[in-house]
Amino acid sequence: MPAPTATRPRETLWLLLCIDAAGSAEPREREMQGHLRFIEQNLERIAVAGPRSDGQHPIDGSILLVRADSAAAARALIEGDPYYRAGVWARIEVHPFRAVCGTYVGGTTW
């Protein structure tokens, strides 16, 4: 049985892998409400986001898939986050990502 045709067009997203700095638990907690407001204010640009954690250890970063025209625009978005300004993240990696199959795209795009 063939896979269903995607209900979403192909789009290039940007994977933001934000790795926490040592000792970031306190600023993470302090800035959480501002961070959540920032996420809510930018929902139209965020495909999915959440903490990086295996559920058994403390949160050690954040992962976001964002809509942006370029890596620079994706980085500029995340640099507006209160977590960034508070130094919660020691490193941010920006990678292009094409969603081509799966439940998010509603099937396959080929």
State the average pLDDT over residues 65-74. Answer: 96
- The predicted model scores a pTM of 0.84
Cα distances (angstroms) measured from residue 60 to each of 24, 33, 34, 95, 99: 9, 18, 18, 19, 25
How far apart CA 54 and CA 5 sit, in angstroms, is 32
* Domains of the chain, earliest start first: 12-108 (3.30.70.1060)
Query: pLDDT (tens digit, 9 = 90+) per residue, 20-69?
Result: 999 999 999 999 999 999 999 999 999 999 999 877 778 999 999 999 99
Query: pLDDT (tens digit, 9 = 90+) per residue, 78-95?
Result: 999 999 999 999 999 999
